[in-house]
Amino acid sequence: MPDDDVTTPWLVVGLGNPGGEYAGNRHNIGFMVADLLAERMGGKFKAHKARAQVLEGRIGPPGPANRRIVLAKPMSFMNLSGGPVTALRDFYKVPLDRIIAVHDELDIDYATLRLKLGGGDNGHNGLKSMTKSMGPDYHRVRCGIGRPPGRMQVADFVLKDFSSTERKELDWFVDRSADAVEALVLEGLERAQSTYNS
């Protein structure tokens, strides 16, 4: 069921590392999705005192069905994401179940999505930091990046850019991930899961 409260905003957090050298990394797919959502909302990110880039706007059809969104990219590094996200939660008075973390997920095949509420961090440093700060009961849009090949270390794999083969599908994947975020906000978790959990 979609949530009928239209006044309380949703906080959508794309997880990633700030800085040009990280921009194309697998670990930064959350930032890529946030950038696309910002484009769709027709706005630009602005610096916020919570050490994040923030864009306030709305998604959905005009009128009573649309929803307030605070779109954020923490400007701490990934493993410190909890601080900025908690500060934004407090500043905008967002309940935990209206927070969505968009992040890379090793245990799902590349270009596959899973949406869920709550759960563990699966070794993801951004989620670990958020859960430590706020508890686990926020939504996740998990963007599959697959496992590292051969003996490559996980840390090396996530901090590498997508391969040329992966990049052929990347725009489509980021687009679908942004669609999933919008569906989660506008239609509720169950409907969004039935559409996007592949």
What is the set of active-site residues? Answer: 27
Report residue 102 as tokens: 């968009």
Closest CA to 32 of 50, 19, 16, 20: 16
Are 8 and 92 in contact, with CB atoms under 8 Å apart? no
The side-by-side arrangement of strands in the sheet containing 52-59 is 46-48, 52-59, 67-74, 10-14, 99-105, 139-144, 113-117
What is the rounded CA–CA span in Å between residue 111 and residue 172? 9
Indicate the residue type of 65. Answer: A
Cβ atoms < 10 Å from Cβ of 148: 16
Q: What are 73's strand-pairing partners? A: 53
What is the rounded CA–CA span in Å between residue 165 and residue 59? 32
Distance of CA 110 to the CA centre of its chain: 16
Cβ atoms < 10 Å from Cβ of 187: 17
